[in-house]
Amino acid sequence: MGKKRIYQKTEEEVLKETEKQQKAQNKATGLVSAKNVKVVEGCAFVQATYNNTIVSLTDAVGNLLAWSSAGSLGFKGPKKATPFAAAKVSETVISKVKTRGLAKIKIYVKGIGSGRESAVRTLANSGMEILLIKDVTPAPHNGCRPPKPRRV
């Protein structure tokens, strides 16, 4: 047996190979490279709970453009549910989407946390045109059937 030859790839070959793999993966999952696509209209979903505030920005179809939460920004414990944390979450989401050219948004608010008001205010003050603000908090119609009376 002789020596084994090790083939060294150049940087160009490695880049071409990774591009081919990414294209094949995107084709398989149905994704389109949407990093450069300009989006004019989108939806902002604000979920304000007692423990956290999550803001997601999507395009008109529903493809996620950016998201953030108070926990991901480093707030811990009861500080995650504060109005200040909610305002910071909205600011970070807006800064992520600024390059996309988003001009009009519809805001859907869910939950009863203390951060819902400040998150909506921050989105409104961002300079984008607001088409709609809607509360989509789920409300029970009549609830579950109550248990039978206890017999002792």
Kindly list the structural domains of the chain, giving each domain's residue range(s) and its CATH number in brackets, ordered by start.
45-135 (3.30.420.80)
- pLDDT at residue 7 in the model: 74
Confidence check: pLDDT of 89 > 90: yes
- pLDDT at residue 106 in the model: 95
The pLDDT-based confidence of 143 (bands split at 50, 70, 90) is confident
Q: Which residue has the higher pLDDT, 32 or 110?
A: 110
- pLDDT at residue 83 in the model: 94
Handedness of CA 107, 109, 113, 117 (dihedral sign): positive
